[in-house]
Amino acid sequence: MAASVVQLIIMTMILALSASLVIIIVGKLLFSMWVLPCLAYRKLKANGFSGPKPSFPFGNLNDIKRLKMMMTRSSSPLMSISNDIHSTAFPYFSLWQKLYGKVMVYWVGTEPFLYIADPEFLKEMAADIKGKGWGKPNVFKHDREPMFGSGLVMVEGDDWVRHRHVITPAFSPANLKAMGGLMVESTTHMLDRWAGLINSGQSEIDVEREIIRTAGEIIAKTSFGISYENGREVLEKLREMQFTLFESNRYVGVPFGKFLNLKETLKAKALGKEIDGLLWSIISDRRKNPPTSGEPEKDLLGLLMADNTVDGRKKRELTTKELVDECKTFFFAGHETTSLLLTWTLLLLAVHPEWQNDLREEINQVLGDGGEIRDVSMLAGLKKMGWVMNEVLRLYPPAPNVQRQSRQEIQVGEVVIPNGTNMWIDVVSMHHDEKLWGKDVHEFKPERFNANIYGGCNHKMGFLPFGFGGRMCVGRNLTAMEYRIVLTRILSTFSFSLSPNYRHQPSHMLSLRPMHGLPLIFKPLPIN
């Protein structure tokens, strides 16, 4: 009898303890996933920020998905191509701006975001904050971990400073110049392939797919010292992950949202592990076969692996995971930005053939007939090509937004942005703002950048092709050089026009890309 009573007491205590643990866990989850976000939202609202009403636990995700679906069904045919793309790529922001203004609050699941499309507000907000003083929204860091890990685009604070110091020398003028020959070689292979297709009667080519392949070959050779064949599997899996994470309607920011999209979550995780393994094998091969000179290679991988000093102090070497994550980040970012910039450029040049002629004339004047690139330093003389690049970055920025998280309270005029606030800075909106650029804001007019690095924009923070402040894109000079090389060789070899099969639908999948590719009709130029 006594033993039964003791057992009953023990069982009661176990059940009570279990119930208490469940209550504590549920309480903590509710506190972190609802109470804390609501407190952050109230602080923002108290400072005068308004926005669309959220619904727990999805926030405004259902509104976003509904508006995106409506826009997907109405992609425009060839004859009605418009550069007014903000309402196409971001229909929800376009609508909310009209209702709540250019600074507002919206919700990604249970995470409130401060939306910013006002350059003056952005200028005041960023005035006193250095690169390491910015964070990244935790909801995106967790969601994109298989793709970027703790690479430069996600790392923060002193670790960001350390990574940036290690990486920056890879993009020095001397190193960039050394990469030029490999870029020309890869571009020549692509153009030879196109010539073969045209000679066989296939004059229509999907240039988005082709240029992504060539940009991948270039980043593999120039930054990692490997052939395209060895880097292809990494690039293919990174692109598969990009589509897995950003093409489907997932529940980012929703509590346990990964379980609502379990298939995509597991696939992204598996791809991340496969990519890590492939990159580690590349790193291991480099370690097993060091340069005979004893000096580290000057490409990105060599500098990441080098045991050197930073600012006169011995730098703390990157861990194995950090090394892999940086390789993953630059494999993706190193080809994505340039390939999309070139793709959108070819679209606009196909629509405006007079600019093809202007650029060919400039190429012949600067480089000589035929546009042979004997010295990459001469590419700086292609001024009009620089105008075209900036105008394409304005109209179709490959990086259409910037995300930040505050690491301190920030005073902007009479309002205070609380510490820990997520931010979404809408680059496309500012690049297409008539009040900043004038009535011709949606027109392709590269000459607006003649003698004006801001293209006549009436606010310096209204043009953000590579981000802003200390966290501006570290590889922007690499992108500019590769852009000039590839575009020079294409324009010196072919003329091109839009295929009637092209459907104009700029789409946001981390980057801004043409949803249906870019088929163009090519004709070889006559040989002089």
d(CA 223, CA 474): 14
Q: Give the up-direction half-sphere exposure of residue 414: CA atoms within 13 A in the CB hemisphere.
A: 4
User: Is 327 marked as binding a ligand?
Assistant: no
Please enumerate in sequence order all residues whose Cβ is within 8 A of that of 288, keeping only pairs 6 or more positions apart, or say none. none
Please give, one letter per residue, the 3-state secondary structure of 52-98.
CCCECCCECHHHHHHHHHHHHCCCECHHHCCCCCHHHHCHHHHHHHH
**Angle, alpha carbons 457-463-465 (nearest 5°):** 150
In 34-191, which ranges are E strands? 103-108, 111-116, 134-135
Dihedral sign from CA coordinates of 498, 243, 108, 128: negative
d(CA 493, CA 365): 16
Please enumerate in sequence order all residues whose Cβ is within 8 A of that of 59, keeping only pairs 6 or more positions apart, or say none. 106, 107, 108, 109, 110, 111, 112, 253, 254
Q: How many CB atoms lie within 10 A of CB 56?
A: 14
Please enumerate in sequence order all residues whose Cβ is within 8 A of that of 247, keeping only pairs 6 or more positions apart, or say none. 509
Please give, one letter per residue, the 3-state secondary structure of 195-257.
HHHHHCCCCEEEHHHHHHHHHHHHHHHHHHCCCHHHHHHHHHHHHHHHHHHHCCCCCCCCCCH
N-term to C-term CA, the chain: 108
Give yes or no for a contact between 157 and 164, defined as CB atoms under 8 angstroms apart: no
Q: From the annotation, which residues make up the binding site for heme?
A: 473
Annotated binding site: 473
